């Protein structure tokens, strides 16, 4: 079984042509860019990757492209969550056959698991399809409404899922998060998924982070981590504040779509969003670009 994931793991955007079809030719550029910025992994087809708007066939194609072009050292984690369990299992099996580093799955968001044992059953079915890959439960209740404490999930799932590695924890409950980190003397790999409060997670023991803004401002987060490790709290706070200001600008000008716009500003055009999400307007693009230049984020 692979070792724990650490450092920055980007959640890449899925690139589309203007007509909405996949633009797989952009993926090698994304992968090379992440490697140059010392990002340790790519968590593909997650929320930032618009997974819910992709067909299963498209998700398999995206995984194959990332796995073919990821530079040495860039670990590819495949998100297999789906509202259809059979499709989730198909994605998981494909991930193992294709050589992914790890597997993750979010719970369904329409017919949601009503009890913790049902959630464990669901994850066990997906993880069991790829027993050779570390499995991460993807916790993001703000998107799917599944609010079970992850500490309880890990305790209940551990005997049932031999390849359970940990959790991608995209939530603000730092009490539950710290309990996950400390559980069984740090047995589980608790990847933190809220870029804007990385510093708080570091204080709780986080060592690995999954986030969308690592696609384009990874150096800022490297600075947060380095300052924290040197016990230079004021410097760490300053770097985190810069990241927060960037995230606030993105939120004002399109949210996830603004992230794709930033990639275009950096010369990696990931194209439009898929409906029901909308692409930033020309005016939003220009305003955002100006704000990021004033923050000295863009060249």
Catalytic residues: 138, 168
Exposed, middle or buried: residue 229 (CB in 10 Å: 0-12, 13-18, 19+)? exposed
Q: 3-state DSSP call for residue 89?
A: helix
Read off the tokens for 105: 């799955």
* Cα–Cα distance for residue pair 191/9, rounded to 1 Å: 9
Read off the tokens for 129: 């399809």
* Cα–Cα distance for residue pair 105/144, rounded to 1 Å: 12
**C-alpha closest to that of 271 among 53, 34, 8:** 53
Q: Would you state the torsion angle of the CA atoms of residues 122, 182, 79, 41, taken in this order, to the nearest 10 degrees?
A: -160
Do 174 and 200 contact (CB within 8 A), yes or no? yes
* Cα–Cα distance for residue pair 187/182, rounded to 1 Å: 8
* Cα–Cα distance for residue pair 275/260, rounded to 1 Å: 14
Read off the tokens for 62: 């995206």
The contacts found for 180-183 with CB under 8 angstroms, 24 or more apart, are: 180/150, 180/151, 180/154, 181/205, 181/206, 183/151, 183/154, 183/155
């Amino acid at each position: 079984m692979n070792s724990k994931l650490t450092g920055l793991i980007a959640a890449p955007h899925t690139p589309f042509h203007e007509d909405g079809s996949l633009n797989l030719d952009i993926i090698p550029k994304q992968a090379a860019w992440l490697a140059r910025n010392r990002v340790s992994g790519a968590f593909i087809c997650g929320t930032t990757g618009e997974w819910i708007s992709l067909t299963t066939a498209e998700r398999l194609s995206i995984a194959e492209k990332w796995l073919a072009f990821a530079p040495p050292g860039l670990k590819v984690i495949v998100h297999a969550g789906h509202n259809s369990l059979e499709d989730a299992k198909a994605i998981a099996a494909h991930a193992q056959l294709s050589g992914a580093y790890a597997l993750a799955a979010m719970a369904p968001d329409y017919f949601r698991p009503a009890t913790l044992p049902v959630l464990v059953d669901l994850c066990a079915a997906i993880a069991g399809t790829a027993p050779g890959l570390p499995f991460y439960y993807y916790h993001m209740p703000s998107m799917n409404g599944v609010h079970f404490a992850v500490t309880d999930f890990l305790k209940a799932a551990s005997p049932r899922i031999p390849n359970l590695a940990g959790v991608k924890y995209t939530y603000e409950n730092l009490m539950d998060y710290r309990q996950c980190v400390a559980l069984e003397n740090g047995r589980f790999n608790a990847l933190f998924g809220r870029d804007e409060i990385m510093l708080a997670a570091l204080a709780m023991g986080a060592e690995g982070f999954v986030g969308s803004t690592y696609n384009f401002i990874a150096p800022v987060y490297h600075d947060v981590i380095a300052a924290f490790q040197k016990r230079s709290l004021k410097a760490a706070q300053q770097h985190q504040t810069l990241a927060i200001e960037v995230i606030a600008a993105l939120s004002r000008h399109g949210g996830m779509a603004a992230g794709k716009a930033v990639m275009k500003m950096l010369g990696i055009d990931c194209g439009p969003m898929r409906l029901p999400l909308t692409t930033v307007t020309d005016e939003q693009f220009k305003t955002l670009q100006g704000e990021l230049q004033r923050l000295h984020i863009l060249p």
